[in-house]
Structure 1
Amino acid sequence: MRDHHRLAVLSDIAAVAGIGETDYARDAEASRNGASFDAYQLAASAFHRALDDADLSRGDIDGLIAGPPLSLERTGEVLGLDVGFAAQADAVNAVMQAVLAIHAGLAECIALVYGNNQRSAATAYGGPQAMGGDRFLAYVQYAPWGLTSQGSLYAMMASRYMAETGFTAEDLGAVVAGIRDFAALNPGAIRRRPLTVAEYLESPHVCEPLRRDDYCLINDGGVALIVTTADRARRLARPVVTVAGFGRYDLNRDATSLRPRLIDRYHTAHREAAAAVAEMSATGPEDVGSVQIYDSFSIHVPVALEGFGFCRPGEAAGLVRAGRLRPGGALPVNSGGGMLGESYMQGWNHQVEAVRQLRGMAGGRQISRLRHVQYLSDVAGKAATLLYRRGA
């Protein structure tokens, strides 16, 4: 059981001092022209950019967290890091583990590094040969019924959601169009061409009701974050952005069936993770000025907004129709273009965008008067969230 007193101690003790990304758009163009990339090369590039951003050197790093598919051992070798703390984790767990390690005194300055050459390597995210099929059985065990990819599973989820709530194809198109509007403002995004709802509706289904633009990109790239103590971050050049809260809750029972996905759309897990953030940070959805949502498929957006408490279940359509999620709206979603428009970095690029926005360094897509940005994720029943705070 969570102990909210012990959680609260962790709030704002650590900060993201450095951020780095590879050149998604440039590399995507090179890939179309036949170039091939190595995941460790991409990770190293992002790492050095994060060090430069933080005005730190490699010798300052005493902890390392590598994001799959990178090998932890090989990542440390390529980066030339001998460290006292090391781990392997996805984007959310990497940030959580960094905060915990800093609080425990295991490290003071931790590099969180991710690289993925999924396009160069022709990684399959669906079908009987799907990457991870041995670990995530939902990828493959429904193949006899024609459900051969995550897209087909999310299409079934979207169909039921839309039938039960009145969320329409136009609403889903508006979600995609809003994220693409943000991507158009991001020089580093791959899909920068704006998309109208009419264009969206004219495109064919891939797996009904999902169309091509409901699916995320598949591209090569790297991301790195440098997480250190808040006190040390205040002595560095960049505006301070702290980790104010985090939460996670896993639905494991029936995880490889469709039950949690279809019965309550993971809302049980959403509520538990949201409660942990609220207890740790003493904030709620009303305090959040922008949301970054894991958007491997567009349907994640309304489902996560409802589950994490930004509106009541079944009411996300109202936010969409009021234009609240688009540029200039009251609750901008995926202001960098997310994984539908900027880059598919399995949630890592959302962390960079959150920090950039809170620093006030997002250029033409900058959201004014931001104090908190929250990241929401609910992959396969694993609900997780991070809350970033400016200037604490």
Structure 2
Amino acid sequence: MQSSQARIDSAAKAARAASRRLALLPRAEKDAALHAMANALEAASDRVVAANDQDVERGARAGMPESLQDRLRLTPQRVVAVADALRDLAALPDPVGDVVRGSTLANGLQIRQVRVPMGVVGMIYESRPNVTVDAAGLGLKSGNAMILRGGSAAADSNAALVDVMRTALSAQGLPADAVQLLDGGREDVGALITARGLVDLVIPRGGADLIRTVVTQATVPVIETGVGNCHVYVDAAADLDMALAIAVNSKTHRPSVCNAAESLLVHQSVARDFLPKVLAELAGAGVLLHTDEAASTAARVAGVSYEPVTDEDWATEHLAMEMSVGVVPSLDAALDHIDRFGTRHTEAIVTGDRRAARRFSAEVDAAVVTVNASTRFTDGGEFGFGAEIGISTQKLHARGPMALQELTSTKWVVEGDGQVRV
């Protein structure tokens, strides 16, 4: 039996050969392959859903929370949505070959910086099987071969999805090894993230422990995605009806994802009017409230249950129907709170004061800042990127929703007619 390192080396070498082929493909061929993959997934919907049912049933037996089962579940409608995301990618411009900048030097040399694929990208992620398709599609469109390692909770789903896509690629005359799925244990992860020279980039997507492990142990370059302890701050100058809609949507629209809000901060000047209404609506939707002293008073006025908030609550990405709520005396206090407990993902302000909005946008250290809008818009699809491979909370190369351009590097092309340096 091959060792993990031998398996990864073999997979990476096959991926590198595939990536060289992909790097030469014109847009038309890549788009045709994306459509072929999308059509194949829809045609195999019954098979994919049946495989997913096995994963969900196994998770339920193991006590997986309902919110995580929702992240895992594929329905026929969700399979169609996943396929449509591939078609959306096909409709987007191809970043490969774009000229970032260029000039003609005084000596006649023409220089230009152009976008090129990364090459071989390793993706390590957890329960959401749609990520498998998004990553494969983004990799293909940007000219990269993808080595995928999904979570064990979605093992059957991912195996079915990748098999369908590899078959579709082969039918298009393209290398199936442009998309590969690892099914080994932690040893495979360790081998993948240390395959320097064979793998060009690793992207972890999931919980804090997964990301921390990859970042600290990898010798391959890493783009760090992050957890989403996101805040909504309701300013003194907020339209309170707007704030109510934004706060509730940010928390309850889909609480199990990283762009759902986990904390609500309210300026003390509007707390008396706003908090009873928003707490009643949140509680009515089934949200467990963790409240500071002032918000607890408002909860009693609203007649809803609550628990005293702790620093641990403020620091927690619940990924469930739970929210921490507090009152702050000023914008500065809100900024300090977010700086202490935020995870540099998405932070929102609701205000009619342009100066407050500008300060919040400039001073909050986050990949995305929303002004008078839900945190739920931090998403590659919502941004018009077709899909995303993750939301980067780092500051190097890529930040925020990562899509096609973020999966490219650049190279300099220098053209002359015999110039030599003197």
Give TM-score, length-normalised by structure 1: 0.30
Q: Which entry has the higher C-alpha Rg, 1 or 2? A: 2
Normalized per residue, the structure richer in helix is 2
Give TM-score, length-normalised by structure 2: 0.29
